[in-house]
Chains A and B, each alone.
Chain A
């Protein structure tokens, strides 16, 4: 039986991890490869690196990070942030990433999804969607540029379209829940699960092991992503998995 995936997410800026490193000695180094190793040892099923570098130099440094991670770890990983062209996709995958995550660039030019999928296969192309509930539309609206820019897309329409264009996986972040630690956005996840037939990674709101249990049992998400609860050592991948296993959820 396919196991449910637990995915820590690392924000990388100019080659350093920038989120949640202040409180823990080992992460003062802020080295993404070191942190990736820690998560690998804890049993992370996959890793996501989001490059939030502003500079061109920072982007180049990200490729070095990708190479180092691919050299040292034997688990799959996804790289996102600032991937705008088919050349960016090629460079990232050729340096050892297993998947790329496209967000704003895919909304701006949806053909990028198809170009990437045609060249490398759908399994390499993750479309990341940031969504926020819109009272008027009684639905969730898609935002781009780190949640700053609302678009005309409703989340179910965009998710369906992204899969039609070749997305192999959807990484769905709830802006309402992000950072709240009150649990994943189950209604949002359910709405998207109903319209796509590719794996959905739940993101935004993880605060405890119970939240992972809920997202895997109530909406049958394929994977769940979290950043701060792992970075701040509020729990570990190990603890979450032990809890899930005890409750009968298949984990590795």
Chain B
């Protein structure tokens, strides 16, 4: 059973339908009590970082997520759900995150190192560059294109958490992981074959569904 964390800020419909296509059982819960005992958790997220942290707090999910990660239960953060796992974000003023991954979130500069401006958000299909193919989440994931849409990006000094990156005027962390905690900047359920493979690996390999 996969628990989908519903704190009011995610596109739960698409991700739950994707799990149905994979034949994986799931439940959606808007408070920790409903989701106790699942084999793995998905933390989706669309919207702004400060609102999302506030909503997680109000729904009582902050300690719940930290506890699950500490216990070794697999957790997958998607898009904003990934960013929330880092130390802080500068979106809408500096806001503290869950601090489970080392690094911070900041806006794309919009100007490259040669002083040329580029478009923000990073929107569209971009190719993955895989750094750690041996991780279980990365089983059969190729250097395909996946669909990005984001204005804020992860900055980290710890390359060990970078499973895959993509290039958009800078190195963009795309798939992140540290033991049982994994995440992607893009929406796997909207990213064609590669995205569905990632979800399948999370549910079937990491969570043994």
Docked Cα-Cα span, A252 to B47, in Å, equals 27
Determine if A199 and B127 form an interchain contact, defined as CB atoms under 8 angstroms apart.
Answer: no
Highest count of chain A CB atoms <10 Å: which of B21, B110, B121: B121
Stretch at the interface among B24-32, B35-43, B133-141, B144-152: B144-152
Whether B100 sits at the interface, judged by CB under 8 Å, is: no
A57 vs B165: C-alpha distance when bound (angstroms): 45
- Residues of chain A with a CB closer than 8 A to B18's CB: 74
Q: Is A61 an interface residue (CB 8 A)?
A: no
When C-beta atoms are compared, the residue in chain A nearest to B150 turns out to be A123
Q: Is the interface of B mostly helix, strand, loop or mixed?
A: mixed
In the bound complex, residues from chain B placing their C-beta under 8 Å from that of A93 are: 11
Does residue B117 face the partner (Cβ distance < 8 Å to A)? yes
Contact check, A2 vs B168: say whether CB atoms are below 8 A apart.
yes
A60 at interface (Cβ–Cβ under 8 A)?
no
* A67 interface contact, C-beta 8 A: yes
A residues less than 8 Å from B147 (CB atoms): 45, 75-76
Inter-chain contact A3/B119, CB cutoff 8 Å: no
Task: List residues of chain A with CB within 8 A of the CB of B117.
Answer: 197
Taking the closest CB of chain B, its distance from the CB of A41, in whole angstroms, is: 11
Closest B residue by C-beta to A93: B11
CB neighbors of B among A121-179 (8 A): 121-124, 168-169
A152 to chain B, nearest CB (A): 28
Q: How far is the CB of A94 from chain B (nearest CB, A)?
A: 7
Interface pair A75/B13, CB less than 8 Å apart = no
Q: Which residues of B contact A74 (CB under 8 A)?
A: 18, 189-193, 195-196
Per-residue CB contact flags for chain A residues 206-240 toward chain B (1 = under 8 Å, else 0) read 00000000000000001100000000000000000
